[in-house]
Amino acid sequence: MEGLDTSLYFRTLNAMDTMLETMVLSSPASRVSKENLQSIFQVLLAFTSSERPAVLERTVGRIRMLSHLLASYSSLEAAQNEDRHASCREILIPVLGQLLGRLLLLVSSGEEKTSRVALDALFSLFLFTRQQKRTTLSEENAQLPAAWEAETTSLCCSPTARDFAMAFAKYLQPSERTDIVLTIIDTLRELNAKKKPLGSSVMDVVMADPHVWLTDVPKIMSCIYESWEYVTMESGQRSMESLLLLMANQCPGDVVTTLLKIAPRGDSTALALWEVMLSTAQTLEKVLKELFIKLQDRQNRLFYTYQEDTCFVRLALLTCTDLEDEEFSPMYKVLRFLRDPSPAVLSLVLRSLMTLSERAEMARKMEVFMPDMMKVLEDGNTNIKMKSLVVSRNVIGHLKTKASPIAVQLMEKLLPLFAAGFGEVRELSISLFRDLMKTVVRKNKRQMKTKVEMGLLPLIFHMSDQIHSVAKASREALLAAAELLKWKKLKHLLQSHQTWRIAECLLQRDRRRTEEYLNQSLPYLEDAQATLRATAVRFIGLAGQLLKDQREEKLAEICHTLQTLEEDNEPSICSLAAQTTSILSTPRVRQTSRCTLRSLCCWCC
C-alpha cells in the first residue's frame, strides 16, 4: 500500500475498521471470543512491537476501535440462526493480559501520539472489564454507581499507565495479571535489542504490590530465566534483578524450587540468578534455608542431580543451623566447602560469603575460613580473587587486632595482586594491605615489618598508577607503612608530596637490598601501563648506579633488559630506556657521588 495516496490509504483503514466491527457483531456468541476477538487481537499484538512509528500508531488505532466496540455494547446481536445474544460476561479475551501489558507500556513510552491512542484503548477496555465484573456480583452489591463514577472520573483526570494498572488490578483474573508481568519481561528483551530503556512506571506498580501481581511465581521465574541472557542494558538488568529479589524475598520456596527444576547443572544463567539472590542478606538467608530444607529431604533427587558438587550444599548446612562459635569451626573443618569446587560454583559460594561476612557475628565465625581463603586468593581467576578480597576485608575488619596472626600470612598473598591487570583488584589488595598493618600486635610486629618492607617498592611504583583510586590507595598504604616502621623521613616526603625523592630515600635506607629491589622492579618493565614502565626504568637507573664493580654481570643483564624497551610503543619510554642504558654502561657515571645520584633522580622525574 506504500504507492497509494494518503486519502485512499485512510479510506482503506476505515474500511478495515468497519470490517472488523462487522466480523465481531455478526458472529454467533460461541465464536465471538474463541475465533474472532482472539485471532484479531493476536494479529494486532504482533505489530505492537514494530519499530516503525506509523505502523505502531495504526495498529494501536485498530485496538482502540475494537476496545471501544466492546465497551459500547453490553450485548452483541447474535446471528439469525441463534436465539440468544452474547452477554458481556460471555465475551472472553484470552490475550487480555498481554494486550493490557502492551498498552500500558506504550502509554509509558513517551511517544505522544501512540501514548494518547493507547490511553483511549485502555479506558475502553477498563469499562468493558469492569462491566464484566459487575455482571458477576450479587444483585444487592451490583449497584455501586457512586464508587464507580468516582473511579471513572479519576482515570479521566489523571490517565497514566500507573493509574490504569492499579485500576485494572482488582478486576483481572490472576492469570491475566501474570500475563501483564510476563509481557513486561518480554518487552525488556525487545527494548534491549533496540537499545532503549523501559519506562519504570508499570514495573513500579508490580513491585509496589507483589501480592496482587506475582500470583504465579514459577511461571514468572521461568520467564526471567529464559530472558536473562538477552537483557544486557543496565536499566533492564536493574529491573530484572529487582523483580527477582522481590520474588526471592516474598516466595523463596517457589523461586528456589523452580530454578532447581528448570536449570541444568552448571548452567551459567542459573548461576547468575543464584548470585543475584545471594547478594543481599535478607534474600540470602531465605534462599539458603530453602536449600537446607531440600538437603534434609534425601528423597529429593532433583536437588542432588542439579548440584553434584556439594560445596554449596555444605555452605547451606553450615550457615542455616545456628551453630555456636565452638561448634562452627569443627563443622567447617569437616565440610571444607572452599576446597577444590568448580570455579563457577566457587564464585557463587564466595558471593554468599561476601553477604554473610557483612554481619559482625558471622564474620568472626568465619576466621576459620581464612587459610582456605588464602589458597583461593592465590589460585583463583580475577572474579574469584576480587570476591575473596572482599570476604577477607570484611572478616579482618570485624576481627580487628584478633586478626594479627592471620594478617601476617595474608600480607604475603596480597603482594602479587598489586600488579594485577584488573584495577579493582589492585585497589582492594593495596587497601587491604594497609588495613592489615593496623591489626598487628606486639608479638607479630617483627614478622609484619618484614612483609611490609617487601611491599614498599611496589607501592612506590603504584603511586604512578593510571587509575587515580589505586594511586591514592598506594600513597595511603605507604603512610601506614611509615607509621609501622617508624620511618619519619618517608612520612615527611609523602606529606610534603615530594614523591620524586621517595625512591632515592628507599635506596639510601638500606643499600644492601639494592639488588633485591632491582629484581622486584624488572617485571614492571613489561607492565601494560606506560606510567609504571617509565617509573620502573627511572628506578632501575637509580639503583643500578649503587651496584659495586663486582656486579658487572648483573648490570649487563639489566642493560640487556632495558634495551628491549627501546622499541616500546611509547616514544618517551624508548628515549628514557636508551638514556638509562647509556648511563649504566658508563663506568665514570656509576662511580659518581651522592649528589650525582640525586640529580639523576630529579632528571628521571
Write the pLDDT tens digit of every residue in 319-335: 776 777 788 888 888 88
**How much is the pLDDT for 245?**
96
pLDDT at 75: 45
pLDDT band per the 50, 70, 90 thresholds, residue 539: very high
Q: Name the band, by pLDDT with cuts 50, 70 and 90, for residue 85.
A: very low
Specify the higher pLDDT residue, 45 or 139.
45
Distances (CA, A) of 410 to 356, 434, 461: 20, 12, 21
Average pLDDT over all residues of the chain: 82
Residue in the structure block whose three cell numbers are 608530596: 497
- The whole-number pLDDT of residue 600 equals 47
Tens digit of pLDDT for each residue in 168-202? 888 889 999 999 999 999 988 888 877 777 766 77
Q: Is the pLDDT of residue 82 over 60?
A: no
Greater confidence (469 vs 263) lies with 469
Residue bearing the bigger pLDDT, 163 or 25: 163
Cα–Cα nearest to 278, from 249, 307, 236? 249
For the CA atoms of the chain, what is the radius of gyration?
Answer: 35
CB atoms within 10 A of CB 140: 6
- Only one residue has cell 518487552, namely 187
Q: How many other CB atoms sit within 10 Å of the CB of residue 562? A: 25
d(CA 363, CA 370): 11
- In the chain, the N- to C-terminal Cα span, in Å, equals 73
When pLDDT is averaged across residues 45-68 and rounded to a whole number, the result is 88
CATH number attached to the domain at 357-497: 1.25.10.10
Per-residue pLDDT for 154 more than 70?
A: no
Compute the distance between CA of residue 463 and CA of residue 220 in angstroms, rounded to an integer: 50
Quick check: 198 and 239 in contact, CB under 8 A? yes
Q: Is the pLDDT of residue 598 over 90?
A: no
| pLDDT in the model for residue 603 | 40
- 100 forms bridges with which residues in the sheet? none
The contacts of residue 591 (CB under 8 Å, 6+ apart) are none
**Distance of CA 189 to CAs 111, 226, 228, 230, 235, Å?**
19, 10, 8, 6, 12
Which grid coordinates belong to 237? Answer: 538488568
In the DSSP assignment, the letter for residue 79 is: P
Asked whether the CA dihedral 26, 29, 33, 39 is positive or negative, the reply is negative
Residue among 193, 269, 176, 273 nearest 233 (CA): 193
Instruction: Report pLDDT digits (tens) over 446-499.
Output: 889 999 999 999 999 999 999 999 999 999 999 999 999 999 999 999 998 888
pTM: 0.80
Of 114-128, 269-283, 300-314, minimum mean pLDDT range: 300-314
Task: Give CATH 1.25.10.10 domain extents, the chain.
Answer: 357-497
Residues forming beta bridges with residue 86, ordered by sequence position? 76
**Which one has a higher pLDDT value, 402 or 294?**
402
Task: Give the HSE-up count for residue 158: Cα atoms under 13 Å, Cβ half-sphere.
Answer: 8
The stretch 364-374 carries a mean pLDDT of 90
